[in-house]
């Protein structure tokens, strides 16, 4: 019984780790895209206002 219990716990822990890593990666990607858009907008405004 202890073997099956530990086998059931490991996938849950792994799932949480993958979910956390996936959330962090998606946040990094989204924030990176947003930062790139902000920089592009600032450069465009600087070019058009000169």
pLDDT tens for the chain, residues 1 to 50: 445 554 555 555 667 888 898 999 999 999 999 999 999 999 999 998 88
Record the pTM: 0.56
C-alpha distances (whole Å) from 31 to each of 4, 23, 27, 36, 41 are: 41, 12, 6, 8, 15
Per-residue tokens: 24: 């962090």
* H or E element at residue 3: helix 2-49
Alpha-carbon gap, residue 12 to 1, rounded angstroms: 17
Alpha-carbon gap, residue 44 to 36, rounded angstroms: 12
């Amino acid at each position: 019984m202890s073997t099956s219990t530990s086998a059931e716990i490991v996938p849950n822990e792994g799932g949480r780790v993958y979910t956390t890593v996936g959330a962090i990666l998606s946040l990094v990607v989204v924030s990176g895209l947003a930062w790139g858009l902000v920089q592009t907008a600032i450069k465009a405004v600087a070019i058009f206002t000169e």
